[in-house]
Amino acid sequence: MNMRGILFLIIFAALAYIALQINVFALQGVTGKNFTLFEFFGPIAGSFLGIAGVAAVGIAKIANAIIGGSALGVMDLLKLSPMMFAAYYFWKNGARGITDKLSIIVPLAAMAAFWLHPIGQQAWFYALYWLVPVIVKFLPDRLMLRSLGSTFTAHAVGSILFLYTIPTAPALWVALIPIVAIERTAFALGIFASHVAFTNIMSAVDKAWSITKDVNVEKRYVLFRL
């Protein structure tokens, strides 16, 4: 990356950090934990900056932990992975089918890990949600489908971390099934809207500063062409 690309990486990381400070609604099953605006914004960084966008998501999460005074242990680093995998999935939107192996392996591996856990075995159907990112990879590339695949990728990785680190009961996972449907649809709509908004902002910036060599701007989602 050149200096301008690095500048955009820093800007996205800063915006992601700000989004982490804005709570949207409570995380079901965990007292005192909330979903933030970051869930609506984080994955799109991959679309604009590629692997650097994936890194920007990790940088924002690390900065949030350090500024908040938290020690960074192994589990804290693992907690970076759900949104980073979501950003990766969103970045690789153009690769259809098995050409994007990691985007398929991650949700399938999460399903296997869920079914191997004694609690997961008793609520095995919960993990079927993670077929969404796999199926999306074999459908035409549409922004809403891509957003769904991305948020369910984050959900798959996050759920496995939750299952293996926090004591739960099968009834909790069963009770979460309808909540997940609403929550992930809301996140997908937010990701969709964020991507369209930033695409149009970047398109306007491109006219003045020619940024498309450093930032991917999907012109098909530009609403206003001046």
Please enumerate in sequence order all residues whose Cβ is within 8 A of that of 181, keeping only pairs 6 or more positions apart, or say none: none
CA 16 – CA 100 distance, rounded (Å): 26
Torsion, Cα 115 176 47 76, to 10 degrees, reads: -70
Beta-sheet strands, E only, within the chain = 23-26, 34-36
Reference 160, options 217, 116, 102; nearest CA is: 116
Q: Are 226 and 200 in contact (CB under 8 A)?
A: no
Decide if 85 contacts 109 (C-beta within 8 A). no
Most confident of 94-108, 142-156, 188-202, 206-220: 142-156
The Cβ-side half-sphere exposure at 4, using a 13 Å CA radius, reads 9
**59-86 pLDDT, tens digit each:** 887 887 777 666 666 666 777 789 899 9
The whole-number pLDDT of residue 31 equals 47
